[in-house]
Structure 1
Amino acid sequence: MSIFAKLTRSELRLFLREPVQVFFTLLFPTVLIAILGNIPDFGKPDPALGGARVIDLYVAIAVVFTLGMLGLQVAPLALATYRERGILRRIATTPVRPVTLLGAQLAMNLLIAIASVALVLTVGRLAFDVALPRQAAGFVVAFLLTAGTSFTIGLLVAAIAPSGKTANSIGTFLFFPLMFFAGLWTPREVFPGLLRTISDLSPLGAGERALHAAMTGSWPSWGSLTVLLAYMLVLGIAAARLFRWE
């Protein structure tokens, strides 16, 4: 545990040296909430959204945005770069197992995600009167499953990408359509039937649906949780089979 903690601290220090990554994963979700919350119409109940406010919906979307950025772009870029530069191979010659570095990278990303989500929820509550998750246990479950799914996709990207740049490109290519289905540009609640079904079956769309349900006081639907678990299982097995340490 001492080695794992040291590696996690080291990964965190390396992450904090990258101001662009820090801004988009730790601060931008809150900035997004602050911008949208200051649009007058977004703070009013909308009949098209069942009486909900747009800003209420975007808190869950901002959480998914954080997890998507970390899982699809930050994690695969770091892991593929480590392999490309031979860092994983050299670690294998020491008492530290390469899988320990993998765990430290994921732990660091989870800590950043928790900090970002705490900031989003705090600003949403204090500045725009967005209710904190009414189903706290369901929110934690939805958050962890969405994070696990996002990071599993990132591990698969890192497994198949020959370099850090390629991993970043693949992650970016996946990020935008997955965030579309999570409602970043248009809330899922106004999607037509077929598009909403596709969204419900997409990893980040299912995550947003589960998080939003917990925000409003309901336990996340078992359909959404099953979709997230299925992605984690299938993609996790694929990543484990394809990942190479050198």
Structure 2
Amino acid sequence: MSALNTAARPVTAKRGSATWRLIKAESKLCVRDKVAPIWGVGCPLIVLIILGSIPALREPQKANGGLTNFDLYVPVLILFNVAILAMTALPATLAGYRENGVLRRMQTTPVGPARLLGAQLVANLTIAVVAMVLFLAVAGLAFGVDLPQNLFGFAVAWLLASAALLSIGLLITALAPGRSSASAIGTVLFFPMMFFAGLWVPITQMPAVLQNISHYTPLGAGMRAFQEAYLGQFPSALPLLTLAAYAAGCALIAVHWFRWE
């Protein structure tokens, strides 16, 4: 029995180290590819600075509960960052692997779909964390936007929103045959999702029907949770459960229906 246990230990170590090496490799490739840093971080940051420089957007509005429109745009752009990573960078990377035959070769190795998709999830989540901290710092230091009053609630909401969006990106990746189709699907989903997050029209100024619909979309639920955290409350159950359902459901489907070629 002891001999069997001794023999089993190196296998576990090798599996763990292989997963960590895969995460490091995918993280380096994400940065080297420049899609995630430029479009996922640089583009939303430029938009943040432009919007913050418009005086009219920094005037308090009664419809926003005393918050300025720019106060509402900061969490929207944080979600914008994650949405670009999830809908553009992540699907294009893995669908490109499939198109170039990389996944077909990886199929012969012990790396399974869960481990491969998990490595991409961690790599993109790391970039999203850096972007989120950067956006909050720029908004606070340059434009005087306060941090969320309930930081723990905001962190929980951000983590669930990021997991939901990136899981949707993994689902696109799992099913799309190539880079062009993955980009097309991601683009089609991106714009309506950003609309319901309030990128063009703040959610509080939407008609009641659209507000109700937005509460059940991943970005709409994320924005509702963010706003509650900004006002000092821990996010309510509905948006958190909505985000958790998207994250778990899309991730499970992505792993189950993952296509190597």
Shorter-chain TM-score range: over 0.9
Residue matched to 1:86: 101
Residue matched to 2:185: 170
**Aligned AA for 2:176?**
A
* 1:216 paired to 2:234: no
CA displacement at 1:91 relative to structure 2 = 2.1
Q: 2:195 aligns with which of 177, 180, 197?
A: 180
Alignment of 1:1-246 (within 5 A): 1-246=16-261
Describe the superposition over 1:91-128 as per-residue Cα deviations: whole angstroms up to 9, x where unpaired. Answer: 23335445433222111100000000010000011011
CA distance in 1, matches of 2:203, 2:153: 20
Structure 2: state its 5+ residue gaps.
Answer: 1-15
Number of equivalenced pairs: 246
CA distance in 2, matches of 1:232, 1:141: 13
- Superposition RMSD in Å: 1.7
Using the size of structure 1 for normalisation, the TM-score is 0.93
CA displacement at 1:215 relative to structure 2 = 2.1
Structure 1: state its 5+ residue gaps.
Answer: none
Does the residue aligned with 1:204 lie in a helix, a strand or coil? helix
CA distance in 2, matches of 1:217, 1:68: 25
**Aligned AA for 1:9?**
K
Q: Which runs of 4+ in 1 moved over 4 A?
A: 95-98
CA distance in 2, matches of 1:97, 1:161: 18
Percent identical across equivalent pairs? 44
Bigger-Rg structure (1/2): 2
CA distance in 1, matches of 2:111, 2:256: 21
Does the residue aligned with 2:215 lie in a helix, a strand or coil? helix
CA distance in 2, matches of 1:100, 1:67: 21
**Aligned AA for 1:106?**
L
